[in-house]
Structure 1
Amino acid sequence: MAKNLRAKIPASDTLIIHDRNHEATSSFMQEVGVARDNPTSNNQMGLMGIEVASSPRAIAEKAEVIITVLPEPSHVKNVFHNILNPPLPPLTSSSPASERLFIDCSTIDPTSSREVANAVHCTAQGRFVDAPMSGGVVGARAATLTFMLGASSRTGGLVKRVTPILALMGSKVLHLGEQGAGLSGKLANNYLLAVSNIATAEAMNLGLQWGLDPHILGELINGSSGRCWSSEINNPVPGISPGAPAEKDYEGGFGVELMKKDLRLAMEEAIRVGAKVEMGERAGDVYEDVEASEKGKDFSVVYRWLGGKTV
C-alpha cells in the first residue's frame, strides 16, 4: 500500500511512514531503494519523498492525510489517544487542506470506530472515516483492494475527498453509509470468508482423497457454482493459485489469528443486533485450534490442519 501511495502521489509530496515493527520499515525502505536503483516502466520509485517517523503522533503533526492500519480495537483507541492528546497543532498556512483527514483501514468493531471518530470530531482536530479493505496481500501489492467506506454523506464533500485517496491503493471504493458502516460491511464479508475458507479446504481434501487431480478439481470448482475467493485466488492446496501462501508453506498472507479475530468481531456484532448465525461458532473453534499449531501462518493453512492430502 505504501509503495503504491509513493508511486502515485505527486513527486513534491512526502510520504511519512511508521511501523512499530522496525524490520518491516527497513524492508520497505530497502525495497523502494532497489526500485530506485532499478527502475522499470511500471516501477518509478525512489527514496526521495519518504520519511520515517518515530510515532503516529509525529506523522499526524506533519501530515494532511493520516492512514492507519492496526490489528485490534484497543490498538486503534490507544494510537488515536496519543495522536489527539495534547491537541495537534494547526496545519501550516501553506497546506491546501483546511483540516486533517484520518482514514482508518483497520478491521475493528463499528462501536469502537465511532468512539474514535467522536474523539476526533468533538475536539475539532480533523475528519475521521472508517475504510477497511479486502483483497489480501496480493491486492495490496497490485493496488486492486476493495475499500468499504463509512463516512458522513450529509455534505458529500467528505466522500469526494476520501475516494480518490483510496483509489491510489485499490480498484474499488464502496461508500456503505455513515460512520461505522464500512466496518459492518467488512465484518459481514469476513464472516463469509472465514466459513468459505474452511469449506474450500474440506472440499479440496475430499476430492484429493477420492483420487481427483487437484488442478482439474480446482479448475472445475472455479468454473462452477462453488467458485469463491478461497478457491480461486487463495486456494489452500499448493500449486493451484499462483503466488498464494500455500505455495510458500503458508507464509505471508492473512494470518490465522487475524481471521479468528475478525470472525469474533462479526459474531459479537451478530449477538448485539440479534442476528442468527449458525456456522460462525464452529468456524471459530476451528481457527482457535489451527492457531495453536500454525500461528503466524496464512489462514488457508486450515487445509494442513485438516490433514489435507498433497501430491
Structure 2
Amino acid sequence: MSKPFSVIRGSASKSWASSVGARRTFATSRCLHATWGFVGLGRMGFPMAKNLRAKIPKSDKLIIHDVNPAVTGQFAEEHAGQTIQVAEAVREISEQAETIITVLPEPHHVQNVLRAMLKPPTLLKIGPCKPRLFIDCSTIDPKNSRAASNAVHSSGQGKFIDAPMSGGVVGASAGTLTFMIGASNDMVKPVSDVLLMMGKRVLHMGEQGAGLKGKLANNYLLGLNNIATCEAMNMGIKWGLDPKKLAELINTSTGRCWPSEVNNPVPYVVQNSPASRGYDGGFGTSLMRKDMKLALQAAHESGAASVMGHEALSVYDLVETDDNCKGKDFSVVYRFLGGKE
C-alpha cells in the first residue's frame, strides 16, 4: 500500500539557509554567493520570480530569461539596484545557477529549454561546481516530464523535480501557491525550501511525475465542475430563481464546489470573481483546454476511463472559438450557454 502524500507548510527553513551558508565557504570567489536561475516570466512566472528575489539573500544573484525581452527588461527595471542578470540564452543560466526554476507553457518548451541547458555536459566543471537542481513548475504531461527528467539524470549534471502549482495569478502574486511535487524522499526537503519562498504549501505526491499526475487529476475535475456549475446556475435562473440564493443553496449543500463557491460564473454572485469583471483575469479557457487535453492523454496512456472528459473538452474548444468568450476566464462557459448577465 502506498503511503499518503506528505504536506510541508511554512517559510523557507533553516536547513536550506544552512546549506546555502555551507556552500559559501568554498575557497573560490565564484562560490561565495548563491546564484539562482528563473526561466519563463509569464503571468505566473513573473510574480513567482519577484517573490523569489524578495526572499533570497540580497547578495545572491538571480538570472532570468524569457523569450520576450520586454518582460525581462521590465523585471530588471522593477528590481533596479538588486542583483539581477538578464540572460540572452538559457545556457548562461545553467552555467551559473545552482538552482533553476522553469515555468513554461507547453511540453516542447520544457524539452527545448532543458536540452539547451544541458549541452554540452560540462556543467559540473563550471559555475557553482556542483550538480544543478532543476525544478519545473510547468503543467505538462507526465510522459514528457519523465523524458525531461531522464535527460537531466542521464547527463549526470543534476536532479529534476516536477512541481506544478495551484493558486493562479492571485496566488503567485501573494506567494500563497500550493505546489505538488514528484520527487524522491531525500529531495523533498531541499525542494520544499525553495518552493516555500514562492508559496505556502508543498504536497509530496510521490516519485518523479507524481506531482503532475495529481495536478492533472485535480484540473480535470475542476474543468468538469465548472461546466456543471455553469449549467446548474443557468437552469436555476431560467426557472426564476434568484442567483445569489441559488448559489447559497448549492454552497451549503451537496453541490458545493470551488467553481460555485469561489469562482461563481454568474456576475456579482461573488463580487471579486472574474465573472464580475467581464470574465477578465482568472484561469483562462485556453489553459483549461490544455490541462484537459493533457489529462485525457495521460488517461488514455494508462488505460483509465474518461467518460465525460471529451465532451467537456469539446465545450472548451467551442468557447475559445466564440468571439464573445475567447481569451476569458473559463467560467465564461456560462455566457457561452446563454446565461443571463
Determine if the TM-score, normalized by the shorter chain, exceeds 0.5. yes
Q: CA deviation at 1:138?
A: 1.7
**Matched residue type, 2:119:** N
Structure 2 matches for 1:74-223, cutoff 5 A? 74-90=108-124, 95=128, 98-153=130-185, 156=186, 158-223=187-252
* TM-score normalised by L of structure 1: 0.86
Q: CA deviation at 1:212?
A: 2.9
Aligned to 1:303: 334
Encode CA deviations 1:83-139: one digit per residue, 9 max, x unaligned.
11222533767x4x8321000011111111111111111111111000111111122
Is 1:255 the counterpart of 2:289 in the alignment?
A: no
Is 1:18 the counterpart of 2:65 in the alignment?
A: yes
Equivalents in 2 of 1:264, 1:57: separation in Å? 31
> Is the contact made by 2:91 and 2:117 (CA closer than 8 Å) also made in structure 1?
yes
Encode CA deviations 1:121-165: one digit per residue, 9 max, x unaligned.
111111100011111112212222111100122xx1x11110111
Encode CA deviations 1:198-225: one digit per residue, 9 max, x unaligned.
1111122223223333333333333333
Aligned to 2:4: none
Equivalents in 2 of 1:91, 1:50: separation in Å? 24
Aligned to 1:48: 82
Encode CA deviations 1:220-249: one digit per residue, 9 max, x unaligned.
333333222212232222223343322332
Equivalents in 1 of 2:237, 2:81: separation in Å? 48
Shift in alpha-carbon separation, 1:29–1:244, aligned structure 2, 3 A: farther
> Is the contact made by 2:123 and 2:131 (CA closer than 8 Å) also made in structure 1?
no
Q: CA deviation at 1:256?
A: 1.2
- Give secondary structure in 1 for the equivalent of 2:135: strand
Is 1:277 the counterpart of 2:277 in the alignment?
A: no
Equivalents in 2 of 1:91, 1:215: separation in Å? 63
Equivalents in 2 of 1:170, 1:86: separation in Å? 33
Alignment gaps of 5+ in structure 2: 1-47
- Give secondary structure in 2 for the equivalent of 1:90: helix
RMSD between superposed Cα atoms in Å? 2.1
Q: 1:68 aligns with which of 102, 113, 122?
A: 102
> Is the contact made by 1:29 and 1:47 (CA closer than 8 Å) also made in structure 2?
no
* TM-score normalised by L of structure 2: 0.79
Q: Give % identity.
A: 60
**Matched residue type, 2:332:** V
- Aligned length in residues: 292
Alignment gaps of 5+ in structure 1: 34-45
Equivalents in 2 of 1:242, 1:26: separation in Å? 34
